[in-house]
Structure 1
Amino acid sequence: ATTELELRFKRHLKANYRHFIEHYTDANEVQRLALAKACAVLDFILEEKETYPGTKLKLYKDLSPILKEMDLQYIPHNYLRLKEKVEILETTDHAIPEIIRLPRLGNDNAEVYNDPVVFGWAMNLRANGANFTDMHIIRQIWEACERTGRRKPSARWFGQKIFEQAETDFLTAQKRYGSSKKANVHKSYIPFKDAFYAGDCWEVDATRVNIIAHATEDEKGNKIERHLMVIVVRDVMSGDVLGYDFTHAENHASFVRAMKMAVQTAGYLPYELVTDRFPGHNTEQIKRLFERLEAMGTIVTLSHNAKQKAGIERWFGTFQNTVLMGSKYYYGEGITSTRLTAHRSPEYIAQLKKESKKAGFDVVAAYTECETLIEQWRDIKYSYYSRKHANLHKTPKELHKESEKPNVIFTNRQQVAMLFDLKKEVTVRNNGQFHLEIHGVKFYYQIAVENYEAIAKTHNKRVIVSYDLDDLSSVFLWKAHGNLLVSICEAEELKQIVKYGPGKDLGRIAQQKARERQIETLKESNLDEYTAAANEEELLLGIHTNKQKANAFEDYYHSVNIPLKKVSGSDIVPDDFDENSYLKERNY
């Protein structure tokens, strides 16, 4: 309940604090009000102390909890400290406003330590990439002050004058944090629009798939455990994962396989391809691939900056949180992640490893699991997991399929083979036949009779053959032109013919002999064309004339176009002369 003393005190405070406001013109509005109320407290005590019943301390003791409850500032709440203030008024000639002042008013001790050299030391250490703690910097400067005879500023001075100042962060943060994520908020950024059409840009990157290690063998046959990595080719506009390849170590071969899958899936080459300097980016195979892509019209951009392909970097996190987390083999995010849901518990992972080992979780099982998860993500609608795209009820695959593609370079099977298939140099012999030896197995090929010109021009010549291990039924022949390839023709596989036993295939033998006869006929015809010019004498042999050679010469003769030569001045006509001007000339 409110006491009589509290009522009298509050009435006195309300009625008299305004008399003291005029003494605090150097303070702000809030401070002036608080200082004036503190003065009114002392004024109240001076009026009450002589008539208040009890001991001399009773008034101070009764008033102390009231001051605490009202939380009055600039006046001590402790009854003894409060009594000391009153005693100063009684024993000196000070007025009340003279002893109720702002704390540290006029105290310039902090300014004494405003040494520009010390300030420079502190700023230099704060901008250091070693990223020292505040106290380490302070201790280093204190030691420097002792060595140089300078006065040491207080630890609080460093906070007020340097560490807590916005300008300090503005000037030093980028050097302090370098290229780490913490420096990003201190840099400018450029807002970019996403790609407008599918195929405007593809991004390629690799990362470890965060599922537990699987059992496999190393090159020497020793049993080991390894994690899968995935190389992903992602369309920027739709977000669709068009191509991917799983491997134990990122290299140029895995990059080519992922790109080949993307081109085969999409049916085109993108306007621009963005990738990082992955292991193998400087090999001859990749240099040739990039040169061929650029020759076909694709812009290839290599960058070490993750922001250059921010979309695919962010996609890895989205894939983990949306799909990968649902896999029982998922072990959590990277070790640097600080999210509460970033990692499975150690006990869970230990039990999972035990169960997977018992179930024979090998490279095939790991590959199948990862492939299933990526294909699952391609069929998830954006509205299923994205608040930003809550009204977009389409999957990445659907977006890519439905989008216009005005800027892409559509490809055919031959162009895909030229870019991505494996290559081997062979010699064409035996009327357009050759063989490839792949993993110790021979595959035989022959050029079709319809490509007789290619058979003739590649006979006993070294050519480049491109082949796909997933489909060896046909291959393509190429001629090297720098790092580019010039197409020659296609060759079909010639499967070995069964010659003996009940399964012998005499029909295919007859087909091959017929092909041989066709080529021989074309050879004779071609040779006759070249020798026809030398058969003029056949027309003079009478009854001994070889009709075939004579006809060949006549065909040759009638097909030759003999250019007509003009005599001097034959291009001038009478109309070109001006009779009057011609007669006026004196030199005629």
Structure 2
Amino acid sequence: MEYYKNELCVTYEELTSGDDPVIKESTLKLNVFRKNIIRAHRGGGEGSCALFVYSSLREKYKARYVAKYGDPEEVLKLQRMRDRVKIDEKARDFYETFKYDMNGVQTGLSEKLKAEYTLNASVLNALACDLEEKTSKRKMYGNSLSTVWESVAATCENLREIYHHTLPENLPRLREKINRYKKEGYVSLISGKLGNASTLKITKEAGDFLIALKRSRVPVYTDSRIFEEYNRVVSEKGWKPLKSKRSLTMWFARPEIQPLWWDAVYGELSAHQRFGRKHRTELPSRRDTLWYGDGTKLNLYYQDENGDMRTTMVYEVMDAYSEVLLGYYISDHENFEAQYNAYRMAIQVSGHKPYEIVHDNQGGHKRLEKEKGTTEPGFFDLICHVHRATAPYSGQSKTIESAFGRFQSQELNKDWRFTGMNITAKKESSRPNLEFVEENKDKLFTLEELKIHYAEARKAWNEAKHPATGIPRIEMYKKSVNEETDVVTVYDMVDIFWIWTKRPATFTDSGIEITIGGKKLPYEVYERPGVPDHEWRMKNTYRQFHVKYDPNDLRSIRLYWEDNAGERRFERVAEPYMVIHRALQDQTEGEAAFIRQEQEANIRDRIDRQVIAKEIEYAYGVAPEQHGLSTPKMKGVTAEVQRQVDRRTKKYDRDPEELQIGRATKKASLLTWDQLGNNNKVDLRNVAGKL
């Protein structure tokens, strides 16, 4: 899109490109021919393209264009806005070197203030130019000065959306800021609060002493003892004494003082949670935009095989938009296995890949991420566009923890086996009745019964109404559409959920063997069901392969070889190696037939190897027979097998061909006419065979 001869135009490619074009090529050409759509420029030259007047498009085509690319007038307006502001490097240099007095110390501006002031100065430069231009033309357009300022203010707000500057939103204050900037320059943007300190009864030195006492752990000082200790030393330090303990307590409570001692008294994590800025966030508006994954205690007691009362863990994956619990896995540990199976179930239930996954920093997630130093994508990279870890010890930032707390209180809490909420919970209703649980310990779930009950509780949660919409969560999820998420295919399931073995394995005469969960599993490549592929074996026995397998289905594995660039290329699918009974009495009819089949196949392989090898020997003149010797007969085979080898190699039962042209020519000179072929021509390559 662009302006051409003062007309807003869109390009031929914008109108016709893509699987769902704004207008089909044939329809566009027909409308141009009928003059329903105006072509402003034919295009065709280097770097030139056909342009069509946007206003001449029918409304339905305009609507499609806006849906695909946005309002062209707004887009071009935004582009022009971006072009208006150029970063003022002189302003940056000024703020880099600016110093101010802070409690007697010459201090430079923070990086944040440097960036803020530089950006504001750059925007003010653009606004000042805009003001000057509009002021000079206001009489031409019949505008008043107030209208000019309103236009400048509107430009200021448009630039705020793009650059996030901090100039005043209020028009009178903005006007004052611009006028002052034009007079005083860069210094006018620096806050007058910098370097100003209100009069303190407690000096900086005295304040540091008080903070040191508050932070002391050996010994620990209460506010009363700090008050006494401070007043004890004021005379020798030359400080003013404090009049009351209350004034000291109020001083410690001041916002700028609290962060200096809070961590020593209550812990650094408490200080971080108290003083760290919290985001105000808005949840996604459609499914699969954001998934949360987290492990937590499954808050139901169960009875193990020894009759002891126990609890276990569950790893849950939740859709943030609908609060639907998509996938889970119950185990005693939040490890790779639990996370892998939970995400796998979530993908299978959803049928789509999420756009973003948020998880914590538990060790199992490291195995799901891309390994350093490798080009292979990690598990999360294959599932979603973006994945990230939440800040540790920041439960309030994870929506899933809030939702899971409600799931516990609304669904799991219905059962008397409920373990209670977190031990920090203050409500009595959030705690278990341990006396009752102990009395009825023999009625606790078994682990299998617990899993069934938990699945029912999840189903009830998903079918319950979402607190924000009043619509059942699962209904919200199923009716929502997210065009930017990919449908999961069979190939995706292989790429995502099949796992590489840690090291390559060698395909031997007994197949290829991999170890999974401490158990060795042999596999074979088959031509068709029940028939090993001997032709493939001939070329690949004792070749190393990287192996990919599905942990939940070991009925087949995939073999890959690695090229010189380190890229893995798919070779074949392998299936479990056929195992037969050794004792004849135990063998079935099918096993006996399979044994005979493989015996015959092995004999054919031996014959093929002999014939191929002989062809190579005779081609290069190294066969024993070409030097008056004999190749040993095959051992352990019948005479018929040996005769078959001999028949297939009988064309070599003659003298070796002469490969040197001089000797071949000499022999040709000794030939007589009766020794020539039907065409009476001498083939020097076969002269040796004619003599």
TM-score tier, shorter chain, comes to 0.5 to 0.7
Question: Which residue in the other structure is 2:399 paired with?
Answer: 311
Match runs of 1:78-93 below 5 Å? none
* Aligned pair partner of 2:358 in 274, 277, 293: 274
Q: Looking at both structures, which has the greater relative contact order when contacts are Cα pairs under 8 Å and sequence separation is at least 6? A: 1
Question: Which residue in the other structure is 1:292 paired with?
Answer: 378
Alpha-carbon shift at residue 332 of structure 1 (Å): 0.9
Question: Which residue in the other structure is 2:244 paired with?
Answer: 154
Which protein is bigger by CA-based radius of gyration? 1
Q: What percentage of residue pairs aligned between the two structures are identical?
A: 18
Q: Distance in 2 between matches of 1:405 and 1:501?
A: 62
* Aligned pair partner of 1:352 in 428, 437, 440: 437
Alpha-carbon shift at residue 547 of structure 1 (Å): 13
Question: Which residue in the other structure is 1:249 paired with?
Answer: 333
Amino acid in structure 2 at the alignment position of 1:496: V
- The one-character-per-residue Cα deviations of 1:100-141 (angstroms, maximum 9, x if unpaired) are xxxxxxxxxxxx9945369725873698598x99x9224313
* Aligned pair partner of 1:389 in 469, 491, 495: 469
- The one-character-per-residue Cα deviations of 1:201-240 (angstroms, maximum 9, x if unpaired) are 33222111222364357xxxxx865420112222333333
SS at match of 2:560: strand
Alpha-carbon shift at residue 278 of structure 1 (Å): 0.7
TM-score by length of 2: 0.48
Match runs of 1:49-448 below 5 Å? 114-116=201-203, 120=207, 124=211, 136-149=222-235, 151-158=241-248, 162=251, 180=269, 184=273, 186-212=275-301, 214-215=303-304, 226-282=310-366, 287=371, 291-293=377-379, 296=382, 298=384, 299-305=386-392, 306=394, 310-344=398-432, 348-356=433-441, 358-359=442-443, 361-382=445-466, 386=467, 388-390=468-470, 393-396=471-474, 399-400=477-478, 402-408=480-486, 410-412=488-490, 415-416=493-494, 419-421=497-499, 423=501, 425-430=504-509, 433-435=511-513, 444-448=522-526
Q: Distance in 2 between matches of 1:490 and 1:456?
A: 17
Q: Distance in 2 between matches of 1:140 and 1:184?
A: 26
SS at match of 2:570: strand
Cα 1:493/1:521, change in 2 over 3 Å: same
Assess if the C-alpha contact under 8 Å between 1:205 and 1:232 holds in 2: yes
- The one-character-per-residue Cα deviations of 1:385-413 (angstroms, maximum 9, x if unpaired) are x2x233xx232376057533523373426
Cα 1:275/1:457, change in 2 over 3 Å: farther
Assess if the C-alpha contact under 8 Å between 2:290 and 2:321 holds in 1: yes
What is the number of residues matched between the two proteins? 415
Q: Distance in 2 between matches of 1:476 and 1:375?
A: 36
Assess if the C-alpha contact under 8 Å between 1:245 and 1:254 holds in 2: yes
List gaps (5 residues or longer) in structure 1: 1-111, 218-222, 538-544, 551-588
Cα 1:471/1:351, change in 2 over 3 Å: same
Question: Which residue in the other structure is 1:471 paired with?
Answer: 553
Assess if the C-alpha contact under 8 Å between 1:200 and 1:271 holds in 2: yes
Cα 1:190/1:262, change in 2 over 3 Å: same
Alpha-carbon shift at residue 330 of structure 1 (Å): 0.6
Cα 1:412/1:471, change in 2 over 3 Å: same
Amino acid in structure 2 at the alignment position of 1:459: T
Q: Distance in 2 between matches of 1:232 and 1:465?
A: 29
Q: Distance in 2 between matches of 1:442 and 1:520?
A: 29
Amino acid in structure 2 at the alignment position of 1:255: Q
Assess if the C-alpha contact under 8 Å between 1:421 and 1:468 holds in 2: yes
Q: Distance in 2 between matches of 1:334 and 1:268?
A: 34
Q: Distance in 1 between matches of 2:492 and 2:602?
A: 25
Q: Distance in 1 between matches of 2:567 and 2:359?
A: 21
Q: Distance in 1 between matches of 2:517 and 2:508?
A: 22
SS at match of 2:379: helix
SS at match of 1:490: strand
SS at match of 2:571: strand
Alpha-carbon shift at residue 352 of structure 1 (Å): 0.9
